[in-house]
Amino acid sequence: MLETVDLTLSLTKEAYKKKAPPLREKLRLLQYQCKNAEIPIVIVFEGWDASGKGGVIARLLERIDPRGFKVHPARPPTTEEEAKPFLWRYWVRLPQDGEIALFDRSWYGRVMIERVAKMVPKKVWRRAFEEISQFERQAADDGAVIVKFFLHISKKEQRRRLKKLAKDKFERWRVTKWDWKHHKDYDKYVKAIEEMVAKTDAPYAPWTIVEATDKRFAELKVFATLVKAMETAIAWRKVHGTEIGRSKVAREAKKAAPSAKPAGKEKGHVRKGGSQQKVA
């Protein structure tokens, strides 16, 4: 699957300067619309080391109101988190209604890094596919919009970027021995990533593979995908908002609905002793 992705796709500076500002402004406005519609947004970023995730996230944050936006970077689980199911620490970080949560690497580490590095037994990462699908389905059924990105670059491009970073005295700290280890295992990760996407891509939590050789192209594809997902969610909430019981649409519909008559108060009947009897 990944070998069919066209990594030569790019965008000129002129095209970028023309398309980027309207998309950024639209995202800014959509954030407030989602807040008013009480829609929680979950954004997941996965991708190769040095694929540009940090740059895209930084650009995204430039026009988003930080009061309704939280970024959760990758980090090892705490002692408390290790004592609970592996998805627990992600459940508690899901956004409140009307807010956005961005995960810079996520629960997919179990079926990628932990799998390839053999940090967990095979039966554990195999079971994780179903656990992740259920987790995302429950969040989506509860009203969350889930948008997942995988930033893809070739092994050759990754090596070029890592070498460039390693030579920069201000950036070399970002390149660790683990980055080179992951690069060495590139082909193993390809297999894991392809299975991950195949098993967890769903209408309620779709994957978007981002061609990330050209950083301008990658950024605008991410922005355009988010805009479409948020617009779709707002349109859906206006029509089907009553399906999310705690939503503003549902509350307004409940207020507007005619009051139902209490059971046992129908004309000609009286409740007595827990049963209905005909009044003479």
CATH number, domain of 148, equals: 3.40.50.300
Residue 237 counted as domain residue: yes
pLDDT on residue 261 = 52
Determine the pLDDT at residue 125: 97
Ranges of the chain with pLDDT below 70: 258-280
Encode 53-85: b = buried (16+ Cβ within 10 Å), e = exposed. Answer: beebbebbeebbeeebbebbeeeeeeeeeeeee
Q: Kindly state whether residue 202 falls inside one of the protein's structural domains.
A: yes
- Assigned domain for 248 exists: yes
User: What phi and psi, each to the nearest 5 degrees, are found at residue 31?
Assistant: -60, -45
Of 205, 77, 195, 73, nearest to 134 by C-alpha is 205
Q: Considering the domain boundaries, does residue 39 fall inside one? A: yes
Does 279 map to a domain?
Answer: no
pLDDT value at position 263? 53
Q: Helix or strand or coil: residue 244?
A: coil
Q: What is the DSSP string of 8-40?
A: T----HHHHHHHHHHHHHHHHHHHHHHHHTT--
Q: Residue 275 domain-assigned? A: no
Residue 267 placed within a domain? no
271 strand-pairing partners = 276
Q: 6: domain range? A: 2-254
**Within a domain: 55:** yes
Q: How many domains does the chain have?
A: 1
The pTM for the full model equals 0.88
Nearest CA among 111, 139, 113, 5 for reference residue 49: 113
